[in-house]
Structure 1
């Protein structure tokens, strides 16, 4: 267990949490040219980009609000006792600088950044950004072999295209990821799906490819523990990506997002499902679609930061189990 004080967050006992420059969870900020960059085991990264948004914009501002909210996070998990910042070296690796006027260029920049991260042996935990962000991240992480994926979302994001042929939006990333061989569809499960639909194209594609869809009615009927046991079985022993869209959570608890859907999980269930990832071999994870303009109070961002801490805890156990 590492106890290098360099990688520890600043304690609220030493500096009030409203003071200082906000980084993710008050961790050290390291650029790729920092001499200790390669000692990082989990890197928290912002991708302030929402050019894939098709309706209500704003997630480009998510990473900044999430950083500020995350200063409220303390060092120890309240029930498991896990202290992730002592179990592994964590750092804020900054933001990927996007090109807001050019989607392909932005995706190339994101992939190039994550190539450097993965080549250094760092497991990334990303704050988006809209959900198209996940596609260029997967392009870097799945270079050796397709990944499994556990997705928490109201939507499948499996549509072929929008507006008569636009292939890259926040509603298409996982269709592209399957087509590009980045994901093994037989090891993909999507949890929490709900809301009105354009048609059944996305769900038809999922079923044809063998992707497991768990609609919200099934989630509520079975409960988080049973659903997550199945999700772990689908992911299996292989490397798995975890993608968490904040609109998975009911908008009563997370209004600050672009495409809210009623009837979703509570904020406690939002944490429960992440705790149910224990045992999954996590290759990387993200928390996306926090949109500050729709919740200036910051409550959605604080829930997002809390979910990121839960992800850090299960990532710590995943990394430790690999030796």
Structure 2
């Protein structure tokens, strides 16, 4: 028998404030049509005053725990993927740990920007297979509205806020690709491309920064690298693109999503798409999409999912998961 990290619960949280594309027309040289055509985004959610990455992560965590039917003290580990923590330290994960009443185990943050949730899932899987945790709460949460330059139409119209969470439980499998749970992973980074997508502030500059992006170059890297990492993770799991029931990609841009699916040879009717409603929520985008698709019955137990993402670093990777 082989241990597998199996999803037993999913949940998400989105701020109440919904911002349609038209809202940007008053302050920027842009339009609803321009944004939709280039990104596929129609609206996004922005956090209210007093609403933070930690508070949104906590709400998503509670929803996932309820869906799983487990209590906070049934969790051994909390991992939060985020690039927009409330504070330099302590971690968002420890804030969530306290907020949900979890008084045991350990919690930590992980930062790989938009690829953060994929990296967090791979790390959760490793902790579980090594025997250090039996149940792990994995969260992606972002307040990207706090680091946007509202005069830069190439970035500020693309991002949104929100959080998504999964509860993973170590279960016994047969050791085949028919098992439920995480079946394969692939993680990558290349620091020479750090200037393609970054925040121009932080501890070194002693000032807050804003998102800066060379969109055309990021797009060029994204489609190629996402298809490659998905293929590598599938091979690692002993599977092919023909076995895939759903691609659940990072929701950054509909053209990247379409281009990656085309390169993988997977039709768009097998791709979960939420970018039109959420925008790019960075590390939150994959768990948000998973939770929404789970809630509406789009993905079902036993189906094979590919999750893949790329973000600043550049960092990219994928996880193969049987739901």
Fold-level similarity (TM above 0.5): no
Give TM-score scaled by structure 1 length: 0.32
Which structure has more relative contact order (CA 8 Å, sep 6+)? It is 2
